[in-house]
Amino acid sequence: MSIRLDYLPNNENVKLYQDDEMFCINTDTMALGEFLEVYRNDIVLDIGTNTGALLLYASRFNPKKLIGIDINEKAIALAKKNMELNNVENCTLLVADGNTYKCSEEADVIIFNPPYFKTPSLDMGSNKYLALAKHEDNFPLENMINCINRNLKNNGKLYFLFLTSRLNEVMLLLNKKNIIVKEMKFVYDVNKEFSNVVLIKAVKGAKEGLRVLKPLIIERKSK
């Protein structure tokens, strides 16, 4: 185990501990964190919170309450340290399985940076923490959408990131639960021709009407 002190991209005043054995923040985390919009009276649920980075992004809006769940006990322990490090006191962190989790109060906002690879997690080798974070065989997409629907109040907002190549699948499952996609932003690596991931804002029970925002172009810093 190797824990290091880091900070949120573009937010050097927000510190966090990361463990090299687990999933560390990357451009997906940054893109989703900067895509969020949260109001002061909101209850915010982060599904698969890992080390709490997205909750720290959400905390900048001073919401009413933050909740983070993760099946990984080590991740929750580190997320608790990160909340303490940043003096975030209105946060509840729970070891819980998204396949069955039901919050005691429905969320106004759900944040989700999910495992989105369909390939079996065994392909990740011996690191079970990275396998859980990246591969969906323990938490398939349909179960993810069911978890969102179960915990999001009517007119509540979902901020979500997923593979662009699986966008049709995501849209179909969200529509079945009447969670209507309102905004999308495609994310591009400056060195690649096609978008790999897409940012999604959806609202439960909303009217149809989709806006596609200007894309986000990620430039890799040279080492």
Question: What is the value of pTM for the model shown?
Answer: 0.89
Read off the pLDDT of residues 63-73 as tens digits, 9 standing for 90 and up: 999 999 999 99
> What mean pLDDT comes out for the span 107-111?
98
Return the CATH class of domain 26-218: alpha beta
Per-domain boundaries in the chain? 26-218
Question: Pairing state of beta strands 152-163 and 107-112?
Answer: parallel
State whether residue 210 is helix, strand or coil. coil
- For the chain, counts of helices (H) and of strands (E): 6, 11
Read off the pLDDT of residues 160-215 as tens digits, 9 standing for 90 and up: 999 999 999 999 999 999 999 999 999 999 999 999 999 999 999 999 999 999 99
